[in-house]
A and B are shown apart, each in its own frame.
Chain A
Amino acid sequence: DQQVKQNSPSLSVQEGRISILNCDYTNSMFDYFLWYKKYPAEGPTFLISISSIKDKNEDGRFTVFLNKSAKHLSLHIVPSQPGDSAVYFCAASVEAGNQFYFGTGTSLTVIP
């Protein structure tokens, strides 16, 4: 059974607006979460992470929010730019281990 789920396979957003990508997980032992971005013909590249001791982490235009009670995290991109068009994966891990569980990805298209 999938422990990390991204229920929206795709998302389209106008340039300059906010993109919100969502991720849900089922394993309450997960305490470290990451977002990766993937362009076609490239491997995933690390974007931003958050530990379960925080509920928000910000890096420039990217902010990740963690709601532990709902087992939900989200990635906000604001303002969205055409270069942000890519597939975004969330991943989760138990911090004591090094196995990550990935979602199926959300394909973001930012329309100029």
Chain B
Amino acid sequence: ETGVTQTPRHLVMGMTNKKSLKCEQHLGHNAMYWYKQSAKKPLELMFVYNFKEQTENNSVPSRFSPECPNSSHLFLHLHTLQPEDSALYLCASSQVARGGAETQYFGPGTRLLVL
């Protein structure tokens, strides 16, 4: 596998379900991100992990819970979601150098539908 992979690619869940999205990066990067893309809206940054430590949480509801066990893996745990949470969830990674924003490389995304 190369680049950034995400599983599953599609997910349908009920509002009472618990599920997890998985992201893995094979690029040796030290930062990983979760984004949400809703129709006709810009990509919204949800969480940032630098060196496995969470550094940003852009006011994301607690029904979304990230986990970063190591610099190559990132999870997004989902529970009691709402229909408006239906969206494309994108994972990205980058190499963050001192004082520098670096290009982010994206996975293919998980298309989530909450019923």
Contact = CB atoms under 8 A, between A and B. Distances in A.
Given A43-B4, A43-B90, A95-B99, A102 B42 contact: yes
Contacts of B92: 43
Interface string B9-52: 10000000000000000000001000000001111010010100
Contacts of A97: 101
A43 B107 contact: yes
Interface in B44-77: 45, 48, 50, 56
Interface stretch (A11-19, A44-52, A61-69, A71-79): A44-52
Contacts of B96: 98
The number of chain A residues touching the other chain, given as a range, is: 20 to 34
B46 to A, nearest CB: 11
A91 B104 CA distance: 10
Given A4-B42, A93-B101, A104-B41, A98 B106 contact: no
Interface in A56-112: 89, 91, 93-105
Contacts of B100: 95-96
Given A95-B100, A95-B101, A98-B102, A42 B94 contact: no
Contact of A101 (B31, B41, B42, B106): B42
B17 to A, nearest CB: 23
B9 to A, nearest CB: 8
B106 A100 contact: no
A104 B40 contact: yes
Contacts of B106: 36, 43-45
A99 B40 contact: no
Interface string B73-115: 0000000000000000011101010011111111111000000
A65 B37 CA distance: 26
Nearest to B10: A41
Contacts of B31: 98
A19 B69 CA distance: 43
A49 to B, nearest CB: 6
Interface of B: 4, 6, 9, 31, 40-43, 45, 48, 50, 56, 90-92, 94, 96, 99-109
